[in-house]
Amino acid sequence: MGVHALASFFRREVESDHWAVWKGEASLDAEELQYYSRGVLNPKRSYYERINHSVNLVGWGEQNGTPYWIMKNSWGRQWGENGFARIKRGVDAFKVESYVQVATV
């Protein structure tokens, strides 16, 4: 068993939010995630140039008119919102909307 192939999908190829969540791995710079505790995160800068962490997109929602992705992290339940974070959707925060990866195992 191992990774047999890795495919990258850019937003123009993603037909729906359902697809992005179903395939759901995003790679990003985890610097700002270290300080996350709750709420909808909207990073102030682009984090695409220094990728050092992967997360899973597991859902989406909306709070007070702000759409967000639900992201599952690997840092345990003590981090964020019980191991999860909400990232602002529609603004390509952390580049999770423009760069999604899928591994074939």
Count: domains in the chain = 1
As a whole number, mean pLDDT of residues 14-18 equals 49
- Domain of 86 in residue numbering reads as 5-104
For 71, the 3-state DSSP assignment is strand
90 has a pLDDT exceeding 90: no
* Domain CATH number, residue 26: 3.90.70.10
As a whole number, mean pLDDT of residues 85-93 equals 88
How much is the pLDDT for 8?
Answer: 52
Report pLDDT digits (tens) over 24-77: 677 788 888 888 999 999 887 655 567 788 888 888 889 999 999 899 999 999
4 has a pLDDT exceeding 60: no
- Strands (DSSP E) along the chain, which ranges? 5-9, 25-28, 40-41, 53-63, 66-72, 84-88, 100-104
